[in-house]
Amino acid sequence: MSAKKEKYCLITNDVETTSLWNHILSDKTGEIVLKEGMPVLLEAYKRYDIKATFYFTGHIAKLYPDIVRMIVPDGHEVGCHGLTHESDKAFDKLTLEQQIDHLTRSKEILENICNQEVVSFRAPALRINQFTPEALEKTGFLIDSSVAPQRMDMFLSFGSMNKLQWIFAPRQHYYTREDNLTRSGSGKIFEIPINAMFLPYTGTMMRISPFMTKMTRYFLVKETSLFKHPMVFLIHPNELIDEEITETKVNRRAKNFFSYMLGDKLRYHLKLKNLGTKAIPLFEDQLEYLQKKNYAFVTTSQYYNIFK
Ligand SMILES: [Zn+2]
């Protein structure tokens, strides 16, 4: 039997110092992620026999190297989530040289900690631009997972103009163009898209609307069975931790009123829903559901090695 006949599921985790409770980046949050969020994930993956991929920012890895070290014994993959999650240093704002610099530095931080080659990348906030494929290729990355085809909630997030390209991105894995990760072409970067059926299949969506998530995953499971797409679920350990609310006003990052209301205010309030330990049973429900659907749980690199 060919391995390609199986249905694959990639459980992906973005590990960073974002405090969702306070809408800021905070090293203290990173510490709670290390001590509380990560153990919840690792324990659940052990129970469901899941090999997952963790994308770390260079910042959190440097701050708490144990957060990277702790995933290695269980056979999970260490991936790169850029150097920093600061909004003004998102990849869609960086030049080619700056992207190469960020990728080189974060890759080195991670590889020095985990003693394995890091070849998978997910951009912070999924923000990428025309230089990203070349920057990835020049720094030894093989796989990207920053594109969410047909995901339509981009106006709730930053860099939404670039994300309009998601509308026409392929739904199956593909080699990207040399100047565009959202299109297939003759480049060397292998894209594994993040599942969406208008709405994304992510921890955030799972918390905002458990009902819509059930609908979304129902269609995605049908689709992945029919077309052999991989199922890619995205969660953050910082979604599973409780924190004290210290910042009461919403940080205004948007330039105009419209995107302030949508991008900052609405997003902030939505993101508090079912946040923290309340999200753990919702998360377990996803794992249980996916396991019942008989997916083979693989890491990003394992998937790449089967289909490259
Ligand atoms: Zn992130």
57 Cα–ligand 1 center, Å: 8
Of the two residues 40 and 267, the one the predictor is more confident about is: 40
pLDDT digits (tens, 9 = 90+) for 247-258: 766 666 666 776
233 Cα–ligand 1 center, Å: 14
Q: What percent of the chain has pLDDT over 70?
A: 92
215 Cα–ligand 1 center, Å: 25
Can you read off the two tokens belonging to residue 90? 């998102």
Residue type at 186 in one-letter notation: S
**DSSP characters for 27-94?**
HHHHHHIIIIIHHHHHHHHHHTT---EEEE-HHHHHH-THHHHTTGGGTPEEEE--S---GGG-GGGS
306 Cα–ligand 1 center, Å: 27
Mean pLDDT of the chain: 92
219 Cα–ligand 1 center, Å: 25
288: Cβ–Cβ under 8 A, 6 or more apart, which residues? 48
Q: Are 153 and 168 in contact (CB under 8 A)?
A: no
Measured CA to CA, the distance from residue 160 to residue 151 in angstroms comes to: 11
Can you read off the two tokens belonging to residue 213? 């998530």
Measured CA to CA, the distance from residue 135 to residue 140 in angstroms comes to: 9
The dihedral over CA atoms of 117, 144, 208, 11, expressed in degrees to the nearest 10, equals -50
205 Cα–ligand 1 center, Å: 15
* 3-class state of residue 120 by DSSP: strand
131 Cα–ligand 1 center, Å: 19
pLDDT at residue number 34? 98
Q: How confident is the model at residue 262 (pLDDT cuts 50, 70, 90)?
A: low
| 248-278: b (≥16 Cβ within 10 Å) or e | eeeeeebeeeebeeebbeebeebbeebbbee
1 Cα–ligand 1 center, Å: 38
193 Cα–ligand 1 center, Å: 15
pLDDT digits (tens, 9 = 90+) for 108-131: 999 999 999 999 999 999 999 999
Tell me, what DSSP letter sits at residue 151?
Answer: B
228 Cα–ligand 1 center, Å: 27
Can you read off the two tokens belonging to residue 303? 């998937």
- Which segment of 14-23, 145-154, 166-175, 255-264 scores lowest on mean pLDDT? 255-264
Q: Are 208 and 273 in contact (CB under 8 A)?
A: yes
Question: Where along the chain do its domains lie?
Answer: 3-307
210 Cα–ligand 1 center, Å: 21
5 Cα–ligand 1 center, Å: 32
pLDDT at residue number 6? 82
pLDDT surpassing 90 at residue 243: yes
pLDDT at residue number 162? 83
139 Cα–ligand 1 center, Å: 20
User: How large is the average pLDDT for residues 151-160?
Assistant: 74
pLDDT at residue number 150? 87
pLDDT surpassing 90 at residue 159: no
| Cβ neighbours, 10 Å, residue 43 | 10
Enter the CATH code of domain 3-307: 3.20.20.370
Q: What percent of the chain has pLDDT over 90?
A: 77
pLDDT surpassing 80 at residue 275: yes
pLDDT digits (tens, 9 = 90+) for 185-221: 999 999 999 988 888 899 999 999 999 999 999 999 9
225 Cα–ligand 1 center, Å: 28
> Is the model's pTM score more than 0.75?
yes
15 Cα–ligand 1 center, Å: 7
pLDDT at residue number 285? 96
User: How large is the average pLDDT for residues 43-71?
Assistant: 98
pLDDT at residue number 1? 39
Q: Give the residue from 287, 221, 242 showing the smallest Cα distance to 46.
A: 287
